[in-house]
Amino acid sequence: MDEIPSSQTLACSAPELDFTILGLDLSSIPPISVLSAHFKDDEEDRVKATLRRHGAPFTGDVSKAKVFIGKVGTKRRAEFELRSRKLKVEAVVESKRPASPVKVGERPGKRMKVSESLNKPIVNDVQGSTTEEESLNGSETEDEGPALKRDTPETSPVEPEDSTAGPPLIFKDHSGEDVVWVVKVDWMNECLATGRLAPLGEQLIFKGKVLERPPPLISKHKSIKAIFSSPTRPSSQQITAKRPQTQQEILERAKSDASATKPKSSYQHERSDGHGSRRFEGRSFAPSAHKPNFASQTANLLQQTTSENDGEDTDIPPPPEWIIKRIKYSCQRFTPGNGPNEDFITQLKKIRTARTLIDDEIGVRAYSTIIASIAAYAYKLSHPRELARLPGCDEKTAVLFVEWKNTGKIQAVEDYENDEAMKVLRTFYDIWGVGAKTARHFYYQNHWTELDDIIQYGWNDLDRVQQIGLKYYDEFLEGIPRAEVEQIADVVRQHAIRLRDDRITVTIVGGYRRGKAASGDVDMIVSHPDLDATAGLVKDIVVALEDAEWITHTLTMSLNNTNRGQCTLPFRTTKASGAGFDTLDKALVVWQDPHWPTLEADLAENPKAKNPNIHRRVDIIIAPWRTVGCAVTGWSGGTTFQRDLRRYAKYVKGWKFDSSGVRTRATGEIVQLEGPEGVDGTPEDAERRVFEGLGLEFVPPEYRCTN
């Protein structure tokens, strides 16, 4: 061989992997196995062949492997891959550490005693935190989406990796414990490039202590023939349900489960297919010996009735028309806010929250679809066969329902609510400006377990939005009554009229418009028939409200719509034109009523008396009149309603819908659904024209509650 190929040419997809590097001996490393996730074509086989050629003690038996190599980039993914192979591990728990050095004398105090330097308002013309109505990752330049918030762009971390350098002696541990290592395939490439064992360095993704290994692949007391001729796995290990072909088979499956002995709950998970965790299977979170099961293995069956034994369906109501017509999109059906199955939906929402916190986007969307279908169902669920008729629901949904119906609880929810790691993640996730990814970073990488840890160790690394979210943590979690929402909107309207004229309209959207008794924040669409009147209006309103002391902090301000001439967002967007959150001009602010009953007396006694009124989150969105109907539509529906509205526009009409208007995907031309500029009527009238233009029956806001 003339020369040793570079590490780039030795990527696992390159033909050079077929070469043998003279002098490279991997026989000294512990038994090694390959994690197959993310490999393409024959990449996995070639990695295995390369390991064998260089003497590595390769094994396919997880019970024996000490080193795992693959295309794994994060500690969390490594733990998931090990768990999916029934290998229970515990990461080395390091002491809490600051995200960055904290200078002596500058460390802030405990929560609710944060520096008062936050009281100065700021204005940022940048993309900011999203609200209840804003988009999921992957949505199409849309600012209407779920209540799932909200990593701010300034500090949202890249999924962290364990960058701890490897020890000088490769794969050595002096603790005497059973230890495993997970390394990137790039480590093998470095070994090939240098012709010797390379240090682990940044290629080491995870190192953990083994708590429990799976049984050997082939027991010495059982022949291969016996293994493959075994009819079923013992019920005490695992019960998996195959997808039934008919609704009747779901019932039969449930009946057979009822006659079986309920197994002891234990974590079970099959290998991921590369699309996130399986929709309903369990997944553990905390780096500890306790591994919660986030999906029940089995469920007790509902009491059988005579009609069931006779094969009759007289106890099941006839399916609604939208089921008979196989309506796919939730924007085509009516979903009330308080349907007959809210108690079961509440349980499913908790499982969805768990999926959010572990970054299972597919699971979140799957549960959102399931919840939206059940919410639209007009009857009280009484039988698992009813669920089989609903879009997105399958046999595992039925199992969850049966478990809840018989026991009054779901073990998946119990595990979520009792798991300490999930409690911490939920606490961090409830900070305004902190999304699920940042919450995981705080807990798993920085080892923070309470809000005071963030203040003590990481205050200087929070952006201003997160600092404010932490300062008013408890206040932002309190719901805003409808009367207070209306009062806030009226104040904004009065100031906007003074700035322009009495043709200003203010439409309260979000949860308030869907009929919620209390809202998490206040969302409003402000518009005016004259195009010039809405240009730059959001900035004028914010300045006026700040001067009147209604706004204490401006978290984010966007003028992208004004800057692009208040036109519908281009089909192919650029960062300069605004996308996603910045579809329309908007301001996200902290609101506080500057008046209170004892104001004069308090100020007379103490000129620096603090305002006792609660702080609220308020979003002011400005829409030009020609597309105000799209804005009101785009900010009024529940999460799944808005997602399906965009999907309907895309797949049924061939259009791109967002709150700035509609464009055709074929040519990018604007589709004017609301009539010419300056048309008479109200924003609500324009909204009805949007539904008509989309070919949809108008769904009143109080029936867009897809949860």
Asked whether residue 14 carries a pLDDT value surpassing 60, the answer given is: no
The closest of 449, 458, 505, 512 to 485, measured between CA atoms, is: 512
Q: Give the pLDDT confidence of 525-576 residue by residue, as tens digits.
A: 999 999 999 999 999 999 999 999 999 999 999 998 999 898 888 776 544 4
| pLDDT score recorded for residue 97 | 62
More confident: 682 or 157 = 682
What's the per-residue H, E or C state across 205-246?
EEEEEEEECCCCCCCCCCCHHHHHHCCCCCCCCCCCCCCCCC
Q: Domain 247-417 has what CATH class?
A: mainly alpha
| pLDDT score recorded for residue 315 | 75
Angstrom CA distances, 650 to 266, 662, 675, 706, stand at 43, 10, 21, 20
Between β-strands 518-519 and 480-481, what pairing exists: parallel, antiparallel or unpaired? antiparallel
The crossing angle, in degrees rounded to 10, of helices 451-458 and 464-471 is: 140
| pLDDT score recorded for residue 283 | 39
Within 10 Å of residue 241's Cβ, how many Cβ atoms? 17
93 DSSP assignment: -
| Strand, coil or helix: 622 | strand
Element (H, E) at 683: helix 683-694
Give the rounded distance of the alpha carbon of 584 from its chain centre: 23
Which residues does 642 contact at the CB level (< 8 Å), separation at least 6?
133, 142, 144, 145, 634
Phi first, then psi: give them for residue 672, nearest 5 degrees.
Answer: -90, 105
d(CA 599, CA 611): 8
**532-564 as b/e: b if 16+ CB within 10 A:** ebbbebbbbbbbbbbeeebbbbbbbbbbbbbbb
Q: Give the pLDDT confidence of 484-497 residue by residue, as tens digits.
A: 999 999 999 999 99
d(CA 603, CA 593): 16
The closest of 24, 21, 17, 72 to 50, measured between CA atoms, is: 17
Element (H, E) at 67: strand 67-70
Q: Give the pLDDT confidence of 676-695 residue by residue, as tens digits.
A: 665 679 999 999 999 999 99
The pLDDT of 412-428, averaged and rounded, is 95
Between β-strands 551-558 and 585-591, what pairing exists: parallel, antiparallel or unpaired? antiparallel
| pLDDT score recorded for residue 523 | 97
Name the band, by pLDDT with cuts 50, 70 and 90, for residue 27.
confident
Within 10 Å of residue 55's Cβ, how many Cβ atoms? 13
Angstrom CA distances, 415 to 47, 286, 599, stand at 38, 12, 48
Give the rounded percent of residues in the chain with a pLDDT score beyond 70: 70
- Whether 681 contacts 632, CB under 8 Å: no
The pLDDT of 150-171, averaged and rounded, is 44
The closest of 425, 422, 421 to 434, measured between CA atoms, is: 425
Collect contacts of 535-541 with beta carbons under 8 A, ≥24 apart.
535/562, 535/566, 536/562, 536/585, 537/496, 537/499, 537/500, 537/585, 537/622, 538/585, 538/586, 538/587, 538/620, 538/621, 538/622, 539/123, 539/587, 540/499, 541/492, 541/495, 541/496, 541/499, 541/587, 541/620
d(CA 463, CA 390): 43
| Strand, coil or helix: 493 | helix
Asked whether residue 53 carries a pLDDT value surpassing 60, the answer given is: yes
d(CA 673, CA 317): 39
The closest of 290, 418, 443, 433 to 358, measured between CA atoms, is: 443
Asked whether residue 399 carries a pLDDT value surpassing 80, the answer given is: yes
- Whether 519 contacts 133, CB under 8 Å: no
Name the band, by pLDDT with cuts 50, 70 and 90, for residue 620.
very high
More confident: 173 or 305 = 173
d(CA 508, CA 480): 13
Got the DSSP string for 663-674?
EETTT--B---S
Q: Please give the mean pLDDT across all residues of the chain.
A: 77
The pLDDT of 263-292, averaged and rounded, is 35
The pLDDT of 296-310, averaged and rounded, is 42
Amino acid of residue 78: A
Asked whether residue 697 carries a pLDDT value surpassing 90, the answer given is: yes
| pLDDT score recorded for residue 91 | 86
The pLDDT of 222-241, averaged and rounded, is 36
How do the domains of the chain map onto residue ranges?
A: 15-91+159-212, 122-146+479-703, 247-417
Element (H, E) at 42: none
Asked whether residue 128 carries a pLDDT value surpassing 90, the answer given is: no
Asked whether residue 448 carries a pLDDT value surpassing 60, the answer given is: yes
Q: Domain 15-91+159-212 has what CATH class?
A: alpha beta
Got the DSSP string for 566-612?
TPPPPSS--GGG--GGGGSEEEEEEE--S--TTHHHHHHH-TTPPP-
Angstrom CA distances, 662 to 113, 134, 137, 139, 594, stand at 47, 18, 20, 15, 40
Asked whether residue 301 carries a pLDDT value surpassing 60, the answer given is: no
Q: Determine whether domain 122-146+479-703 maps to CATH 1.10.510.10.
A: no
The closest of 267, 302, 264, 262 to 288, measured between CA atoms, is: 267
Asked whether residue 16 carries a pLDDT value surpassing 50, the answer given is: no
| pLDDT score recorded for residue 177 | 86
Phi first, then psi: give them for residue 356, nearest 5 degrees.
Answer: -60, -45
The pLDDT of 402-423, averaged and rounded, is 94
